[in-house]
Structure 1
């Protein structure tokens, strides 16, 4: 799909007229019309209703328009990121992490070392699918990924078997929690009652989906579960829990304030609590000097934490 076709489509939506849109795009009307038809052929449906005056979108066109704008925005952001990285050269360390880990671990554990060392960071806090983090590291789209780790996360296996190394930055509990009402937790993770337990879970794009599924498989004698929503982001699952739509699993670090304030409560017994590691991964043969500096600093930090814990 030609990116110019998306810009043509956006111009036609704005102008609602082929002639004005062609003029806006600085091409002849016949050429502009051919490009719109090529876009429709690529998508496989009619996007423009040519029988109305002014022109309007078909139902499929209404669906396609916001996605076209997302693609154009993503394309532009990618160009800008590439130009920034190229201009900065080999001194930039490219990070990739999820929104929840950015909020709970990057800012507190890594950012101080970055500032202390005067390092240049290109931070991609993203909603990528879990396996995209792995491919991004393998293809050198990023230098470091910050991710949760659990034995059930098969998508990380290629890194463990490949040319990668990791540091365990910290450990966290993965807790089943519910919002607290006047009489205690609104949702309980226990047998009893006629209604199944409403679960707010994770979509296939989330690294945490496999941990929830694994936990439920290990507790097959537990209550009946009804998944009422799936989301890619732990932040979004947390928001839904706080609205009272169901219970869900969250890393303790992400909900510690709500637990301490009594707004959330852990439900279920210890069998439903999983242990997570927060890991940094990089390829061993990535010898970018600034990356080596940060990695060595992180090693010292982890060793100091281990010494304090054992002492």
Structure 2
């Protein structure tokens, strides 16, 4: 099966018209139609209902579309990984970091050391799911991962038990915060006995911080009544929603330090609602890249 056929099929599902889809794919309509027919022959079933206007998918076509998109995404990610590895070479350190830590700890802890040592860093994705960081390190797609750590983060367990070296760069707190109103008081609180559930801006399953939030809520003797109104993978996106007043949420203190200082945000709840975090950087000891050893030694000496 040709990957071009999958892209043709996806274009046809968008335009629902052979002529417009062929124009989008920069091919003549007859050639485009032959490629769609070849795809259907390969699959063994009809994917397009040609009797409807605009064109629609058959039930088999609907199933095939969802799988074709997964295949195309995987194919693109694989090409990107291969190209990144080839471009990086042996002297470039490949670092993967979530967006929040890239904006804080990378700039404060790693970038100055890399600049001082004349080291070149390649910054990998800041929008991966939590488990993708571990997989990337295991498969040598990156040399280092910068991540939050808490015992509830099960996805990091493959790196524990001596399999990986790690350094704790700093400690942070996972804190519940709310936007403040004109009177300086928080719009939402975690006070016990509230009759209405508090709107909670939470984290999606792909976020490393989701498991920590679940842990905090489970530890409460009198858990607050909360209603999840939104989920995001990125802490900065949760922060943006909190600042817009859509609800309260938990954030690492470091990424909202400025807003706490100027009064836009306020910590709510009791001490039991706060949770300590570590910021760790991991590497595999068998990775003996000289530039990596140099940076690691500088981090250890901090």
TM-score range, shorter chain: 0.7 to 0.9
- Confirm or deny that 1:32 pairs with 2:35: yes
Corresponding residue for residue 255 of structure 1: 256
Report the Cα distance in structure 2 between the residues aligned to 1:45 and 1:202, rounded to whole angstroms. 40
User: Which residue of structure 1 lines up, in the alignment, with residue 295 of structure 2?
Assistant: 294
Tell me what 2:216 maps to. 215
Contact 1:92 1:120 in 2 (8 A): yes
Shift in Å at residue 193 of structure 1? 3.0
Superposition TM-score, scaled by structure 1 size = 0.83
What is the DSSP-based 3-state SS (H/G/I as helix, E as strand, rest coil) of the residue aligned with 2:177? strand
State how 1:223-302 maps to structure 2 within 5 Å.
223-301=224-302
User: Structure 2 matches for 1:162-201, cutoff 5 A?
Assistant: 162-183=162-183, 184-201=185-202
1:204 positional shift: 1.3
Structure 1 or 2: larger helix share? 1
Gaps of 5+ in 2: none
| 1:57-76 pair list within 5 angstroms | 57-58=56-57, 75-76=75-76
Deviation at 1:182, TM superposition (A): 2.1
The 8 Å contact of residues 169 and 278 in structure 1, kept in 2 or not, is answered as yes
Cα distance in structure 2, aligned partners of 1:76 and 1:139: 17
Unaligned runs of 5+ in 1: 302-311
2:120 is aligned to 120
SS of match in other structure, 2:114: helix
Q: Following the alignment from structure 2 to structure 1, what is the Cα–Cα distance between the partners of residues 224 and 155?
A: 29
How far apart are the structure 1 equivalents of 2:262 and 2:156?
35
2 CA distance for matches of 1:87 and 1:102? 22
Aligned to 2:203: 202
Query: How far apart, CA to CA, are the structure 2 residues paired with 1:282 and 1:200?
Result: 32
1:146 is aligned to: 146
Figure out how many residues of one structure are paired with residues of the other and give that number: 297
What is the SS of the residue equivalent to 2:192?
Answer: coil
Alpha-carbon distance in 2 for matches of 1:197, 1:59:
44
